Amino acid sequence: MAVMISGHVIGLLKEYMQDLVEQARQETLAQERFGFAATAYRPDHAISDLLALLDDRIESEGLQVGLPEGFLHEIWSLCNDASVQVTDRVYVETNVGSETGSKARTRELTYRALLEFIESRRRAQSQGEAES
């Protein structure tokens, strides 16, 4: 990773991720109310939704909230690097737990795994810089 993602940016990411989880909960409730069946939703869908939201937010408020230049590319690269690990983890957690695999649950698990991946990269990068 070329740029260290700051704590501030991690906080924004968490906020955006929570917005997407809440949006999925509301969509599910609306679909159930009208009798629609839930469609399959995978971690790669959750990541695509996050990247689309980030693109929109960067365009509308990026500089005002302190998102660095090149941030979307950095996150896209991180998501690409993390995809197999995140997908495997979400698969295991979805199939082991008693909770059903809803869109909101998939987003929640995907974003938690992605944040942990980002944090592990941050720690490794910090450790590498400290050893230099």
Question: Mean pLDDT across the stretch 79-95?
Answer: 92
* 70-82: average pLDDT: 91
As given in the structure block, the two tokens for residue 105 are 């649950």
The values of phi and psi at residue 118, to 5°, are -60, -45
Say yes or no to pLDDT of 7 above 80.
yes
> Structure pTM?
0.85
